[in-house]
Structure 1
Amino acid sequence: MTASPELSVVVPVFNERDNVPPLVQEIVAALRGVVPFEIVYVDDHSRDDTLAVLQGLKAQVPELRVLHHVSQSGQSTAIRTGVKAARGTWIATLDGDGQNDPADIPRLIAKRGEQPGEVKLFAGWRVNRQDTGSKRWASKWANKIRARMLRDDTPDTGCGIKLFERAAFLDLPYFDHMHRYLPALMQRAGWKTVSVPVNHRARTTGVSKYNNLNRALVGIRDLRGVAWLITRSKRTAVEEL
């Protein structure tokens, strides 16, 4: 295991046993020699043998750490579990289904080096999505509604690949599905965010854990809640005397 990683790659998974080995190897290939890193997989109480596959990989990949939820808690909780356990000052997240490309992580890191320190989130932007037509259509309208309500100037908040400062993330209000609203929440906290075009790949194995109806029903409630949080936010500069 890396002694003091600069970057922690957090990957939440639920029933993704066939996607785990190739994605881990891609992360290693993208980051070894680029930045000191660790990989933090969070198994959200999978019903298949995802956890066993992860445990088997630990002997081969010294950067890999494995956390396990004793009960299924959802993607946002899994991400937060990984971030809390992470030792890096910056976090990169990836979806566990293999549709995000780990080769984009060094690009996000390079983009960070071009931006001022007040930018705390670099959000992936899937400019060429490889999803079904119905999912692309639903996402397009969801993004339009969200942008109108939250004014977060972010074209794609649903992209799983993101780079953000650990401390800034842990200072955000936590709630289920918060991972879909990170740009708005970061901006609410006074930080800036940048969207970066990234690669997107078709799922080759496993099945999606969401459907359009469930996303829509939950999304309406969450949008109202985040909009309320934004209206109730207060920020001020602080002086130490």
Structure 2
Amino acid sequence: MTNRVPASLYNIVQAPPKEGPALSVVVPMYNEAENAGVLIEEIATALRGKVLFEIIAVNDCSTDTTAAVLSGLKERFPELRPLSHGQNAGQSRGVRTGIMAARSPVISTLDGDGQNNPADIPALYTALTRDGAPASLMMVAGERQKRRDTAAKRYASRIANGVRKNLLGDDANDTGCGLKVFYRDAFLRLPYFDHIHRYLPALMKREGYEVEFLPVSARERLYGQSKYTNFQRAAVAIRDLMGVMWLKSRHRHPGSIEEL
């Protein structure tokens, strides 16, 4: 019988238990049956012996055998907790589903296509949780170096990142990098919308949090092909960018909060 996330998780934010993993790795997947096994093994290899962790792989109602592959991996990888959407809801919803189900106060996200290298997770986790880190530091985000995408995709990404960075002032050179490590509680304070995963640095800064960036490696997709074209990305990005600009313009920060 398939274990399901309690329905209450979709309406009530539940705090992670006091005793549990130190890091929850959340991986949204849609039609990634060929990539799933390789990626889960890479994550486990990168983290075992370094930190107590769990892997939450969220199958976004794939039409291939992704769900079956993930279910079959549980015996080999006891850290793995596969979840599955009843209908396709997109990457951002997959990320949010995994974060709401997470049992750790610290989250790492990465894309399910294998382009993010799990070997980079420990460095981001260490930077976020280091002794002496600023109290307001809530996220360390990866910035891909020497990307392996097509020239057209790299050019489109460079233009989009430049426009977004100028309009939002988020200091992010590569907000499209799926590899990020952040505190669960900080994420759940952010306003949720589809494609939120591309605007996390800007939204974190909107809440008054600090964000740091570290270089990470970039790889070609392990198997399969991208789910989006440059035109599809651009069409959605314009609308989302206007929405995030509106959210920033309507935000007022209290400065400090004291109990009297």
Fold shared by both chains (TM-score > 0.5)? yes
Which residue of structure 2 aligns with residue 156 of structure 1? 174
Identity in percent: 54
Name the CA distance, whole Å, in 2 between partners of 1:152 and 1:161. Answer: 17
- Pairing 1:41–2:41 present: no
Name the CA distance, whole Å, in 2 between partners of 1:99 and 1:218. Answer: 22
Which residue of structure 2 aligns with residue 134 of structure 1? 152
Alignment equivalent of 1:168, drawn from 156, 176, 186 = 186
Q: Deviation per CA, 1:71-124: give whole Å up to 9, x if none.
A: 000000000000000011000001000010001001112222163121101111
SS where residue 25 of structure 2 aligns?
strand
Equivalent residue letter for 2:259: E
Q: Give the unaligned 5+ runs of structure 2.
A: 1-18
User: How do residues 9-24 of structure 1 correspond to structure 2 at under 5 angstroms?
Assistant: 9-24=25-40
Cα drift, residue 192 of structure 1: 0.6
Structure 1 residue ranges (4+ consecutive) displaced by more than 4 angstroms after TM superposition: none
Alignment equivalent of 2:230, drawn from 212, 215, 225 = 212
SS where residue 103 of structure 1 aligns?
helix
Which residue of structure 1 aligns with residue 97 of structure 2? 81
- Pairing 1:25–2:41 present: yes
> What is the aligned-residue RMSD (CA, Å)?
0.9
Which residue of structure 2 aligns with residue 59 of structure 1? 75
Name the CA distance, whole Å, in 2 between partners of 1:216 and 1:168. Answer: 28
Which residue of structure 1 aligns with residue 257 of structure 2? 238
Name the CA distance, whole Å, in 2 between partners of 1:25 and 1:204. Answer: 13
SS where residue 199 of structure 2 aligns?
helix
SS where residue 70 of structure 1 aligns?
coil
Name the CA distance, whole Å, in 2 between partners of 1:201 and 1:131. Answer: 8
Alignment equivalent of 1:122, drawn from 129, 140, 148 = 140
Equivalent residue letter for 2:162: K
User: How do residues 189-228 of structure 1 correspond to structure 2 at under 5 angstroms?
Assistant: 189-228=207-246
Cα drift, residue 29 of structure 1: 0.6
- Pairing 1:8–2:24 present: yes
Name the CA distance, whole Å, in 2 between partners of 1:4 and 1:151. Answer: 36
Name the CA distance, whole Å, in 2 between partners of 1:77 and 1:25. Answer: 24
Q: TM-score, normalised by structure 2?
A: 0.90
Q: Deviation per CA, 1:151-206: give whole Å up to 9, x if none.
A: 11111100010000000001100000000000000000110101110011011311
Aligned residues: 239
- Pairing 1:183–2:201 present: yes
Name the CA distance, whole Å, in 1 between partners of 2:38 and 2:121. Answer: 16
Please say which of residues 153-162 and 109-118 is displaced more in the overlay: 109-118
Name the CA distance, whole Å, in 1 between partners of 2:71 and 2:252. Answer: 45
Name the CA distance, whole Å, in 1 between partners of 2:189 and 2:67. Answer: 30
Name the CA distance, whole Å, in 2 between partners of 1:19 and 1:67. Answer: 16
